[in-house]
Amino acid sequence: MGAYTYSEKSWLEAPPEYSFSKFEGQGFLDGFMDARSRAIKALEKRLGAAAKQSAEKTPARLFYAAGAHEKFLSGFPQEKIFTNEALRACINALLQGGSGGTRGNGAEDKVYACLSGFVKAFEVSKKVFSEYAKGFRVSDARGSHDKTENYATLSVACLLFFQSSGNLKFLNAALKLDDFLCSLEFATLSDNDAGLCLCALRLEKPLAQKLFSEKGVALWH
């Protein structure tokens, strides 16, 4: 089995500069799947006494709130965009409306535009800030960029968008966001952050497996 090295070092201390990882053959993909499986098991172990609740770490359980997306999306793009609020609104739109949100009121396009803004800013800096100005320019970003919750929530949003649309841009972003999550010291995470990381990785793994299968790639496990 090959090694998957993109989550071995802390992204907070030394963010990588890659846009697309170099494909290194079958062993690379096997190493990727093994690394993700080990991370999921480690997070489940980290939750410990919360093991029962860990089975509930799904997007619907963690993020669903009826109508929670409507106010944010109706005013998008705002002059100030608060990351947690924006991503939760996008996730709720995806959960409640399928591919992109509620049909017929422009929400689908707004979810795409909002997530595209976050993805572009992340690709430039490999960081997710707590606040952005309209346009998502990294030079105008404000607030902390070390909140695990924001990386995990962006990953979940991207994975849900990929799941409903098949747009590989969002899967590519989620893979890198999840590399960030896997580079963290799980023992130091709060229960909330550990649960969000677990949610993202559990959502990512079957989507990656399905894509590999469609491309005719047989994995060792």
Q: For 44-58, how does the pLDDT look when each residue is reduced to its tens digit (9 = 90+)?
A: 988 886 655 666 778
Strand partners, 80: 133
Residue range 95-114: mean pLDDT, rounded? 67
Is residue 44 within 8 Å of 198, Cβ to Cβ? yes
Residue range 97-106: mean pLDDT, rounded? 48
pLDDT of residue 214: 81
pLDDT of residue 18: 60
Is the Cα torsion angle 100, 106, 109, 112 positive or negative in sign?
negative
What digits encode the pLDDT tens for the residues 143-183? 999 999 999 999 999 999 999 999 999 999 999 999 999 99
pLDDT of residue 221: 46
CA angle (101 as vertex; 160, 96 as ends), nearest 5: 75
* Among candidate residues 210, 208, 180, 213, the one with its CA nearest the CA of residue 34: 208
Q: Average pLDDT of the chain?
A: 83
129: alpha, beta or left? (left if phi > 0; alpha if psi -120 to 50)? beta
What digits encode the pLDDT tens for the residues 179-198? 999 999 999 999 999 999 99
* Among candidate residues 107, 122, 116, the one with its CA nearest the CA of residue 181: 122
Radius of gyration of the chain measured on its C-alpha atoms: 17
Among all chains, which residue has been given the structure tokens 């800096």?
125
- pTM recorded for the entire structure: 0.86
The two tokens of residue 198 are 């677990």
d(CA 105, CA 72): 13
Cβ-based neighbour number of residue 205 at 10 Å = 17
What digits encode the pLDDT tens for the residues 7-26? 566 656 666 666 555 555 56
Q: Which residue has the higher pLDDT, 126 or 57?
A: 126
SS3 content of the chain, % helix, strand, coil (to 5): 60, 5, 35
